[in-house]
Chain A
């Protein structure tokens, strides 16, 4: 075997040169994304810790979050007392439960937006008819509904929005501006009082002005 000095490096460089003109496998990751299924989350694998026990605590978070519901698992709880299971029966019941949704990072439906009390809408329709379904007469419509129901129910505002084509936010914005329009049922005395605290009436202003002119802050204090 003849030894030709430098042959090794030439072979090596030849390989480098060949690779140099081949298509590259490296991608510029954040700019380019690899061609993967959008739901690919990596390989499913249970990991072991350094003492050889399973790291999985059977918390089912992965099973609850799994979008295609492919994880079916069972085991014992962390104290070794009960056998726990996660499979289709649990999946369909519990993954829609509120804390499960929150743990799996999904949006939790808000009670305030989810549903509103349904009311008899006949009066609303009559008031809308009287006002030609005209959003320019929104104040008269809202005042009429307040007269009929005693307050402005969410269902009524939705109905106005649906029938007149005015945005819900537009109607809400108008209704929340004027002092005489309210969303609280008169029966909810606590709520009404809480709102009124932040809406000082004109009579209160006049009374306070009178008191200030008499300098009667002092007298009121002396009572205590």
Chain B
């Protein structure tokens, strides 16, 4: 059994290999066959120690204070301080409160959340129980991908075993608080990774984001205060409660301590790894191996489909929330894709923007129409029939979308093209001004540039 995030000091880490369908090794053994035995084994290796300590020693306020002073930040991509979120939800007067664990893992090419839920479901459940106990929630949801039916069954078995052992359910560890955990498989939209969209899906409604404020901590699921956390954040909580906030704050970078799961997709290897936040991007990319002979690294896509394309010169950027935002990328799904010189940056940016535009929910106009315009600009660039105003239009449209967006999806959807324009301007100019593709990927319309003779000779 691999204990991801439970021992957040393991670095350099190893890649957990997964096949393309997302199935991997490193599963908690025998969970489906005998859940109780699997739970006993997990408890013997330290699971649910944090919950016991939170309930018996710290109490709700003490737990929130511990999490807040560890400066743990949400692993869902935005990096919002977890302690602050819990404090806000606990402060609101309400008849009910909810905790939602977001294990959807929207990025189709990243398996980080799925790997965590398979390898150590009890860590997530423990974090969920601690969060529910701390803010006084009675119901907790785990939203997972319905496509992975076996993982759903395993998670349900784990919840059942934990309820049998009274780690969850009514009268949690004799504290007098009830925490009912409901596993809710969801599927069918990329946007479900966004917190308000996920809440809509749990309410059985069309998945469109809500304007903030009010934040979900104030008015979330069924109008009640709700804490939405990524499963990785929750899995990190037990260690903090057991070992103390000061110990956790020592790991990783100063502003964002702790470790995080990344999906590395390199030229030689790909898989999920656990890295401390703040390590240079270079070290993370190195996990995926070096490009083959004669090839060199051209760009690194950081953050999934809406991530930024960073040039090799920026590989010394620390892998953490603020530094990545500053250079025009983001942690996002934790996906890190290395592209060598076979790939064309403009083609790649077009692919990513198209995906983001297709997955737009259509609620806000800057998103629905603005991303469509970005795709059209990218299409024109790739097909070699650019318009003279395209560079200016790209800048203006991106700025407008960022300024008027409703949720993070559209603001981040501008990143591939915006970062491509920022760092790979010469390659974009080749497309837009000279109708040629240096990588030879896009169909160069040589005709447009007046080189018909060369084209005909081929």
Partner of A214, one of B20, B205, B265, B342: B342
User: In whole angstroms, how far apart are the Cα atoms of A140 and B351 in the complex?
Assistant: 33
Q: How far is the CA of A139 from the CA of B206 in the complex (A)?
A: 9
The verdict on A203 contacting chain B, using a C-beta distance below 8 Å, is yes
Instruction: Give the docked Cα–Cα distance between A200 and B348 (Å).
Output: 17
Partner of B201 from the list A135, A139, A205, A209 (CB cut-off 8 Å) is: A139
Q: Given the complex of chains A and B, what is the CA–CA distance between A203 and B265 in angstroms?
A: 16
Q: Which residue on A lies nearest to B265, using beta carbons?
A: A213
Q: Could you tell me how many residues of chain B have their Cβ less than 8 Å away from some Cβ of chain A?
A: 36
Residue among B206, B222, B361 facing the most chain A CB atoms (10 A cut-off): B206
Q: Return the CB mask of A165-202 against B: 1 if under 8 Å, else 0.
A: 00000100110111111000000000000000000101
- Interface-side segment among B66-74, B210-218, B401-409, B436-444: B436-444
State A49–B131 Cα separation when bound (angstroms).
89
Whether B205 and A138, one on each chain, are in contact in the complex, defined by CB atoms closer than 8 angstroms, is yes
Asked if B186 contacts A139 (CB within 8 A), the reply is: yes
Please give, as numbers and ranges, the residues of chain B lying within 8 Å of A213 by CB-CB distance. 265, 337, 339-340, 342-343, 348
Report B189-215 CB contacts with A as 1/0, cut-off 8 Å. Answer: 110000000000101111110000000
Q: Which residues of B contact A137 (CB under 8 A)?
A: 204
- Across the interface, B109 reaches (CB within 8 A) one of A138, A181, A206, A217, namely A206
Instruction: Please pick, from B189, B206, B343, the residue contacting A212 in the complex, using a CB distance under 8 A.
Output: B343
Q: CB distance A209 to B207 under 8 Å? A: no
- A45 CA to B400 CA, complexed, in Å: 64
Closest residue of B by beta carbon distance from A136 = B204
B222:A136 contact, CB within 8 angstroms: yes
Query: Which A residue's beta carbon lies closest to that of B205?
Result: A174
Q: State whether the Cβ of A215 lies closer than 8 Å to any Cβ in chain B.
A: yes
Asked if B420 lies at the interface with its beta carbon under 8 angstroms from chain A, I say no
CA distance A178 to B185 in the complex (A): 13
Interface string of A82-116 (1 = CB under 8 A from B): 00000000000000000000000000000000000
B364 near A: Cβ within 8 Å? Answer: no
Which residues of B lie under 8 Å from residue A208 when comparing CB positions? 351
- The one of B201, B206, B305, B344 that contacts A215, using a Cβ cutoff of 8 Å: B344
Q: Is B187 an interface residue (CB 8 A)?
A: yes
Which residues of chain B are within 8 angstroms of A205 by Cβ–Cβ distance? Answer: 108-109, 305, 355
Q: Which of B189, B347, B443 contacts A177 (CB 8 A)?
A: B189
Task: Scan residues 250-273 of chain B and give those whose CB is less than 8 A from a CB of chain A.
Answer: 265
B-side contacts of A173, CB under 8 Å? 205-206
CB distance from B445 to the nearest CB of A (A): 13
Distance of A44 from chain B, by nearest CB (Å): 53
Give how many A residues have a beta carbon under 8 Å from the other chain's beta carbons: 30
Is B388's CB within 8 Å of the partner chain A? no
Q: Which single member of B189, B206, B348 contacts A179 (CB below 8 Å)?
A: B189
Contact B188 A178 (CB under 8 A): yes
Q: What residues of chain A lie closer than 8 Å to B205, measured between beta carbons? A: 138, 170, 173-174
Across the interface, B108 reaches (CB within 8 A) one of A181, A206, A221, namely A206
Q: Which residue of A lies closest to B201 (CB)?
A: A139
> Bound state CA distance, A205 and B188, in angstroms?
14
A218 within 8 A of B: yes
Contact B187 A217 (CB under 8 A): no
Interface string of B33-75 (1 = CB under 8 A from A): 0000000000000000000000000000000000000000000
B443 touches A221 (CB 8 A): yes
Question: B108 contacts A215, CB within 8 Å?
Answer: no
Task: Determine whether the beta carbon of B439 is less than 8 Å from that of A200.
Answer: no
**Chain B residues closer than 8 Å to A203, beta-carbon distance:** 108
Decide if B204 touches A215 in the complex (CB within 8 Å): no
Chain A residue at smallest Cβ distance from B221: A136
In Å, the complex CA distance between A136 and B205 comes to 8
Given contacts A200-B358, A208-B351, A213-B342, is CB(A174)–CB(B188) below 8 Å? no
Chain B residues with CB under 8 Å of A174's CB are: 204-206
A125–B192 CA distance with the chains assembled, in angstroms: 29
Report the minimal beta-carbon distance from B16 to chain A, rounded to whole angstroms: 18
Q: Which of A170, A180, A209, A215 touches B188 (beta carbons < 8 Å)? A: A180
Q: Which residues of B contact A180 (CB under 8 A)?
A: 146, 187-188
| B207 A217 Cβ-Cβ under 8 A | no
* Residue of B whose beta carbon sits closest to that of A138: B204
On chain B, the residues within 8 Å of A212 by CB distance are 339, 343-344, 347-348, 351, 441
Asked whether A217 and B441 contact (CB < 8 A) given A136-B222, A180-B188, A205-B109, the answer is yes
Given pairs A174-B205, A177-B206, A217-B347, 9 additional interface contacts (CB within 8 A): A177-B189, A180-B188, A181-B188, A205-B305, A206-B108, A212-B344, A212-B351, A215-B440, A217-B443
* Partner-A contacts on B (CB < 8 A): 20, 108-109, 146, 186-190, 201, 203-208, 222, 265, 305, 337, 339-340, 342-344, 347-348, 351, 355, 358, 361, 439-443
30 contacts between A and B (CB under 8 A): A135-B204, A138-B204, A138-B205, A139-B201, A139-B204, A170-B205, A173-B205, A173-B206, A174-B204, A174-B205, A174-B206, A177-B206, A178-B189, A179-B188, A180-B188, A181-B188, A202-B190, A205-B109, A212-B339, A212-B343, A212-B348, A213-B265, A213-B348, A215-B342, A215-B439, A217-B344, A217-B441, A217-B443, A218-B440, A221-B443
List 7 A-B pairs, minimum CB-CB distance, nearest first.
A178-B188, A138-B204, A215-B342, A202-B108, A179-B188, A180-B188, A177-B206
